[in-house]
Chain A
Amino acid sequence: MFAFIVGRILAAIPVLVIVSLLTFVIIYFVPGDVASELAGPTATPDEIEQIRDRLGLNQPFVTRLVSWYGALLQGDLGHSFLLNQTVSHAILERLPVTLSVTAYALVIVLLIGMTTGIIAAVRANTWVDQGMMGIALIGLSLPDFWLGLVMIYVFAVVLGWMPTGGYVEFSESPLGWLRMTTMPALSLALTQVGLLARMTRSGMLEVLRQDYVRTARAKGLPGWMVVGKHALANVMVQVVTVVGVSVGILLGGQIVIESVFSLPGVGRLIVGAILRRDYPVIQGGLLLTATIFVVVNLIVDLLYAYFDPRIRYGR
Chain B
Amino acid sequence: MAALLSVSNLTIAFGGTPVVEDMSFTLDPGEVLGIVGESGSGKSMTALALLRLIPPPGRVTHGRIEFDGIDVLAQPEAAMQDLRGRAMSMIFQEPMTSLNPVFTIGEQIEETLRVHERLDRAATRRRAVELLELVEIPAAARRLGDYPHQLSGGMRQRVMIAIALACRPKVLIADEPTTALDVTIQAQILDLLRGLRKELGMAVILITHDLGVVAEFADRVMVMYAGRVVENAPAAALFATPRHPYAEGLLASIPRLDGPIQRLNAITGMVPSPHAMPPGCRFAPRCPHARDACAERIPATTDLGGGRSVACIRETGYRQTEAVS
The interface of chain A, by Cβ under 8 A from chain B, is 210-212, 214-223, 225, 230, 233-234, 307-310, 313, 315
Contact = CB atoms under 8 A, between A and B. Distances in A.
B188 interface: no
Interface stretch (B12-20, B64-72, B100-108, B215-223): B100-108
Given A214-B53, A309-B147, A220 B101 contact: no
A230 B100 contact: yes
Contacts of B132: none
B102 A222 contact: no
A218 B115 contact: no
B53 A212 contact: no
B102 A221 contact: no
Which 6 A-B residue pairings sit nearest by Cβ, starting from the closest?
Answer: A220-B85, A220-B84, A219-B85, A211-B97, A212-B100, A309-B147
For chain B, the bracket of interface size reads: 20 to 34
Contacts of A222: 78, 81, 115
A220 B160 contact: no
A165 B89 CA distance: 61
Contacts, number: 79
Given A214-B53, A215-B92, A215-B160, A233 B112 contact: no
Contact of A217 (B82, B84, B102): B84
30 contacts: A211-B92, A211-B97, A212-B99, A212-B101, A214-B53, A215-B98, A215-B100, A216-B100, A217-B84, A218-B53, A218-B84, A218-B90, A218-B92, A219-B84, A219-B111, A219-B112, A220-B83, A220-B84, A221-B85, A221-B111, A222-B115, A223-B81, A230-B100, A230-B103, A234-B101, A308-B102, A309-B104, A310-B147, A310-B149, A313-B149
A309 B97 contact: no
Contact of B92 (A214, A223, A308, A315): A214
Contacts of B102: 233-234, 307-309
Contact of B150 (A215, A225, A313): A313
Given A309-B149, A313-B147, A217 B53 contact: yes
B149 A315 contact: yes
B51 interface: yes
Given A218-B51, A218-B53, A233 B100 contact: yes
A234 B100 contact: yes
